[in-house]
Structure 1
Amino acid sequence: MKNVYLLEIDFEFNGQRQTITPTILKDKENTILIDCGYPNFIPLLEEAAYRHNISLDSITKLIVTHHDVDHIGSLAALKQAYPQIEIIAHELDSPYIEGKNKPLRAVQAESTFDQLPDEEKPGIEQFIAFLQSVEPASVDVTVSSGEHLPWCDGIEIIHTPGHLPGHISLYLPTSKTLIAGDVVVIEEGKLNIANPQFAWDLDEAVRSVQKLLEYDIEHLICYHGGLFQGDINKALKDLLKVYLS
Structure 2
Amino acid sequence: MKHVMLLDIAFEQGGRHNVITPVLLRDERETILVDCGYPHFYPHFRSAVERHGLQLDAITKIVVTHHDMDHIGALAALKRAHPQIEVIAYEEEEPYIRGEKKSLRLVQAESTYDGLPDESKPWAEQFIRYLRSVEPAPVDRTVAAGETLPWCGGIEIVHTPGHMPGHISLYLPASQTMIAGDAVVIEEGKLNIANPQFTLDMDEAVRSVRRLLEYDIERLICYHGGEFHGDVRSALLQLVETYTA
TM-score when normalising by structure 2: 0.98
Does residue 145 of the first structure (1) align with residue 145 of the second (2)? yes
Does residue 125 of the first structure (1) align with residue 125 of the second (2)? yes
- Residue 215 of structure 2 aligns with which residue? 215
CA–CA distance in structure 1, aligned partners of residues 197 and 53 of structure 2:
39
CA–CA distance in structure 2, aligned partners of residues 147 and 39 of structure 1:
29
Query: Where do 5+ consecutive residues of structure 2 fail to align?
Result: none
- Residue 111 of structure 1 aligns with which residue? 111
CA deviation digits over 1:131-186, x for unaligned, max 9?
A: 11111001110111000000111100000000001100000000000000000000
SS at match of 1:175: coil
CA–CA distance in structure 2, aligned partners of residues 55 and 153 of structure 1:
23
Does residue 60 of the first structure (1) align with residue 69 of the second (2)? no
SS at match of 1:161: coil
- Residue 30 of structure 2 aligns with which residue? 30
CA–CA distance in structure 2, aligned partners of residues 204 and 74 of structure 1:
28
- Residue 176 of structure 1 aligns with which residue? 176
- Residue 154 of structure 1 aligns with which residue? 154
CA deviation digits over 1:26-77, x for unaligned, max 9?
A: 1111100000111111111111111111211110000000111111000000
Displacement after TM superposition at 1:204 (Å) = 0.2
- Residue 92 of structure 2 aligns with which residue? 92
Displacement after TM superposition at 1:120 (Å) = 2.2
Percent identity of the aligned residues? 66
- Residue 11 of structure 1 aligns with which residue? 11
4+ residue runs of structure 1 moved beyond 4 angstroms?
A: none
CA–CA distance in structure 2, aligned partners of residues 2 and 148 of structure 1:
21
CA–CA distance in structure 1, aligned partners of residues 209 and 178 of structure 2:
12
- Residue 69 of structure 2 aligns with which residue? 69
Displacement after TM superposition at 1:3 (Å) = 1.1
Counterpart contact for 1:162–1:208, Cα < 8 Å: yes
Query: Where do 5+ consecutive residues of structure 1 fail to align?
Result: none
Would you say how many aligned residue pairs link Structure 1 and Structure 2?
A: 245
CA deviation digits over 1:95-142, x for unaligned, max 9?
A: 110001111111111111111122322321221121111110011101
Counterpart contact for 1:2–1:175, Cα < 8 Å: no
